[in-house]
Amino acid sequence: MKAFVVLSLIGYLVVPGAAAVLGRCVVAKRLQEGGLSNFEGYSLENWVCLAYFESKFNPVAVYENSPGAYMGFGLFQIRNTDWCDKGKNLCHVSCSALLNPDLKKTIECAKKIVKGKEGMGAWPSWTQNCQNSDTLERWLDGCRL
């Protein structure tokens, strides 16, 4: 009986988190449908790479940088201090709307961010992991788009 309760509790805790993570090709398809392929000159591969290094394809990820500092929301870990309603709200969106797996609000906000002077460089993880990568094409390998 005790084992059943423990296993049930573990199942309850594990399943919701695992269900939120999207597959690489699902992410690519949604980003493409949202108009990010070659948006502002950045290939779809760049966007998929960014999504991986920001959230590991988890559209409901919330990360607190350090207590009292910024928090990142969603697939691209969009910062609350500037972009959503817990800060300057430059995207005119609630931070919780950035956690929707349909990615519509996330994509709209990402477009506003990348139109800024830093482009995709607004995300340090893109600069470090994707910007000068010679293997970007791997992010779309096997995806039917």
| pLDDT for res 85 | 92
**32 neighbors 47 (Cβ within 8 angstroms):** no
Map the chain to HEC letters.
Answer: CHHHHHHHHHHHHHHHHHHHCCCHHHHHHHHHHCCCCCECCECHHHHHHHHHHHHCCCCCCEEECCCCCCEEECCCCEECCCCCCCCCCCCCCCHHHHHCCCCHHHHHHHHHHHCCCCHHHHCHHHHHHCCCCCCHHHHHCCCCC
pTM: 0.85
Could you tell me the pLDDT band of residue 67, with boundaries at 50, 70 and 90?
confident
Percent of the chain with pLDDT over 90: 80
At 19 the pLDDT is 57
Q: Residue 36: pLDDT band by 50, 70, 90 thresholds? A: very high
Q: Report the distance separating Cα 102 and Cα 93, nearest Å.
A: 15
Q: List all residues 6 or more positions away from 91 whose beta carbon is below 8 Å from its beta carbon.
A: 78, 83, 84, 105, 108, 109, 112, 113
Which carries the bigger pLDDT value, residue 66 or residue 130?
Answer: 130
Q: Where is average pLDDT lowest: 63-72, 74-83, 101-110?
A: 63-72
Alpha-carbon span 78 to 55, nearest angstrom: 10
Mean pLDDT value across the chain: 89
Catalytic positions: 54
